[in-house]
Structure 1
Amino acid sequence: MHEHPSSEPVSAEEPASLAPGLYIVATPIGNLGDMTARAVRVLASASLIACEDTRVTGRLLNHFAITTRMQPYHDHNAASVRPGLIARAAVEPVALVSDAGTPLISDPGYKLVADARDAGVTVVAVPGACAAIAALSIAGLPTDRFLFAGFLPAKDKAKRDAIAELANVPATLVFYESGPRLAATLLALHDGLGDRPAGVGRELTKRYEEMVTGPLSELAARWADAPPRGEIVVLVGPPLPAAAATADDLDSALHAALATMKVKDAARTVAEALGVSKTEAYARALVLKNGE
């Protein structure tokens, strides 16, 4: 299904003064030209901007001549800062940004939004760039269904377990990763998911943007000895269709099943396991059972 614009009239600009509320503002993931005019107006009109790193956001604000005061909001102080931000958003416009892209994608913002909504505070989306969506749009992998899985765990066993949980998800998988960990992650994905079609997006929207696609084995080999720089998005296609069972596969499975089961039960079990019709499995089971 395509996304359709609303039939409702759309205002070209924010009101002269923002209403109280929490404004979730997307910022560029690299190219400053992707900053929307609406995002600039909202950040300039807000009474406070909550951000992960004031140095990173400060550079963005300076570029657009925005002088709004900033408040650090990150994993280490979120619990203590959150009540004050919500109280302020109830009476004034407060903006939330991440270091890059859309807030709440791999950052602590969702708790702020959830608590703000519980408190009756208006929450407003000011959409824009998102690395996961940007990567999906250019990778050539299925986009009708996808699952964003964020960063995989660093430790090997935890990483393998996380990948195993995703192995049967019928969707394109999307991960964020760092350069030094990329090759190990691609190899773990190959080991856990098979040699699926995949893509690695690097430095999206920046000068040296690249999207490299191919089987997971090929991508893992590409960066095995030369970790790339920059922010990285890894995409892995849905599970590959199972290879059709051959006649030899059917006979072997039926022989094993007939050793312990009646013909009807053996045929049903093998048909389900190999994805063949029960009628075909039953007919062949009768032949094998009668020794023909």
Structure 2
Amino acid sequence: MFIVHINPNSEKENIMADHQKGIHHITILSGDAQVNYDFYVKKLGLRMVLKSVNQDDPGTYHLFYANGAGKPGSSITFFPWPMAHQGVPGTGEAVAVSFAVPSTSGGYWKKRLADEGIEFDGPEKRFGLDVIRFRDPDNMMLELVFDPAADAVDAWKDATVPAEHGIRGFWGTTMRIVETDETTALLEEVFGFKKTDAEKNLTLLKSGSEIGHSVILEKAEKAGYGKNGRGIIHHVAFRAKDEEEELEMRRKVIDHGLQPTTVIDRHVFKSVYFRSPGGVLFEIATDGPGYRSVADRDEDMGKELFLPEWLEPRRQDIESGLPEIRL
């Protein structure tokens, strides 16, 4: 049995002291869990910081990949559904995930992607930065943004990618919506973003965070229906320092005429969910206690299946129903 030891308060306090506004995590629907792990850990060099289950569907994994420290602003998470059909993005959705990499790493990443058999486009300039685009095994649009701000962020030294070229965390995400004004107001008034630039039908909003600092609103001319399935972003989560700030942000969401959930305990953070004016599912997530809080040691992060206490009595049945992931 995997015994969960919650770390001392000092670990939580360290996370809180480093609080910045921005993206907390992004959650996506995927296909095969092993294929997903191999791509994000072995090919892109992320770290699996938590292996758990979907609390609303415990027969499905919830996999969390991030930078070495598992910092807010770095974790991309997945619900793997092996039998899911291919999704098609529409309007009212986040449609791309952008990772921040050092500004001088373009040559390395072009060679690495080519060596791994991953087709890519670019680099091309967007908002003054070079961007390379490619897709994951479930056709999810990914981007590498070569950002000088990423140079100062620590990389995971045990990754399959050399630390000097490694992914630091999110640069941001792109949301495709028809009406952008209300979503812009929400991002500015609740989540601490500011509109900083625009190109064609793209509006850039930025926060002060060192990672997870950018949201691009792609204005669509008309609504277009998508299809849920593999490769579709489920939700985008934004950072709250602690539960007190989360409740204050929740009140602001209500003031915008929206209907957030109550606070839900996800054990590594507290969550509030609501549908944004543009249609994208948003989450407010606290910085703490963090992924490290449910591992005995730093090196144990992501190694064993974490279950919340209320699912522990079902551990044997849950584990027997989940596919093995070879780490």
Same fold per TM (> 0.5)?
no
Q: Report 1 or 2 for greater relative contact order, CA contacts < 8 Å, sequence distance ≥ 6.
A: 2
The alignment's TM-score, normalised by the length of structure 2, stands at 0.23
Which of the pair is proportionally richer in strand?
2
Which of the pair is proportionally richer in helix?
1
The alignment's TM-score, normalised by the length of structure 1, stands at 0.25
